[in-house]
Amino acid sequence: MELTEKGLKELSDLIKRKEIKPSEVAEAFLKRIEETEKEIKAYITVIEKSVEEAKEKDEKVGEGPLYGVPLAIKDNINIEGVKTTCASKILENFIAPFDATVIKKLKRAGAIFLGKTNLDEFAMGSSTEYSAFFPTKNPWDRERVPGGSSGGSAACVSVRSAPAALGSDTGGSIRQPSAFCGVIGLKPTYGRVSRYGLVAFASSLDQIGPIARKTEDIALLMEIISGKDPKDSTSVDMKVDRFTEEMKKDINGLRIGIPKEFFEFEIQKEVKDTFDEFIKKLESAGCYIEEISLPNIKYSIPAYYIIAPSEASSNLARYDGVRYGYRAKIFENLIDMYSKTRGEGFGQEVKRRIMLGTFALSTGYYDAYYLKAMKVRTLIYRDFKSAFEKVDVIAGPTTPTLPFKFGERTKNPIEMYLSDIFTVSVNLAGLPGISIPIGWKNNLPVGGQLIGKPFDESTLLRISYTWEQIFKHYENKPPL
């Protein structure tokens, strides 16, 4: 039995039936990590003690839905006693003193953690090239990027060195790498999942979400990690759906809107053709397809790159060399220590965004930039709200291109930012979005994005589940 080919639900069922032991599962995935890491580099930290934890679970009878099942966690989510580096030199040796709320919930469900996955530094990037330690490679073509910022999480699920993973999504950081790596990634509605214990990038945009190869695993993780958290004032007190049951409902009669503005952007022919085929198949499955308009969507990238850096400049002010993290070795006074610590500790992209954000918030520019971007954000939300009066779900490509090669976009930050042209609007509006594999072109994955009404992840999962019965994408395996 090839345990690394199994998903979370399958592994959980096998453990409950005592056909396999948790330690056998942990050992199989750690062996797979050993086989693939030299090529892929998905993990920053591998938690070797996961086998010991699994052996302890061998002797007990657990009731949790993930009892004895391993997961990978993006390295900007705290696990007590394990390094949380955010792929940055400034936090290179920081040991998390507490568990994030999602980690507490997963532990209560019986989960084991295989390791912490690589990302663009402080989740700022679309290719995982901005990690301070090393780039992660795309399992489908090691000359290409896995996407970002949750590139490590998407790559390890794709290459089967974890059955599923958690990532974070600020402007597409779960969905875009999932599209590039040929897996499913869900960005929940803002407030659905607690952000307590997630290292903040842009607090009004960040959201933790799951990455997996099967819809049932995404649904299962959502049932576990969702819900109100008194430690996060932005989390919403709303009943958590039985996603694992809701996903099996028929999609016949669902209305899917296709924004005409999406196709005013430059989209690679391979991506456009694959998306068109995907829509035709959904129509054959009983969905109604309708053209809609999101007139202000073209302003989403400029609005996002004012709002996100502004919030980042505030959030990253805490890294000053005094309280925790890296401190410069040589300095003359306190101000010099701050300056040198940040100059040496932060990477190029993080410094770029801090400067952009600080400028946008500065006296004389706040109204011209930040306030205007917030007004545009409201217009984008209103466009979505109006569209959802006519349709149940909005669909489009997840990314405008196939996975690009290393170095192609690092010289031009604007080109890198445009990788997220279809995803950032979802964060600005606080909506749920899912990327699902819809085809392969030139042996590279293509992702399709579905955007839902607030707190309607269930409908997205219904379409995803139906689609994987038609197109068994989870059977495709990278050549490694």
Q: Which residues are catalytic?
A: 74, 149, 173
Q: Which two tokens stand for residue 360?
A: 């946008």
CA pair distance 398, 177, nearest whole angstrom: 10
Q: Furthest-apart CA pair in the chain: how many Å?
A: 70
323 CB-contact burial (10 Å; exposed 0-12 / middle 13-18 / buried 19+): exposed
Which amino acid appears at position 234 of this protein? T
Residue carrying the six token digits 């933790």: 208
- DSSP of 81-148: TSB--TT-GGGTTPBPSS--HHHHHHHHTT-EEEEEE--SGGG--SSSTT-SS----BTTBTTB---S
Strand order across the beta sheet in which 164-168 lies: 43-46, 112-117, 70-74, 164-168, 208-212, 184-187, 433-441, 444-452, 393-397, 255-259, 288-292
Burial annotation 414-432 (CB, 10 A radius, 16+ → b, else e): eebbbbbbbbbbbbbbbbb
Cα 275 off chain centre by: 21
Residues 6+ apart with CB under 8 A from 393: 254, 255, 256, 257, 450, 451, 452, 459, 460, 463
Phi, psi of 259 (to 5 degrees): -70, 125
Cis check: omega of the bond before 88, within 30 degrees of 0: no
Closest CA to 396 of 244, 248, 282, 477: 282
Kindly compute the dihedral angle of the four CA atoms of residues 77, 83, 86, 90, in this order, to the nearest 10 degrees.
140
Which amino acid appears at position 393 of this protein? V
Phi, psi of 427 (to 5 degrees): -70, -40
Pairing label, strands 444-452, 208-212 = unpaired
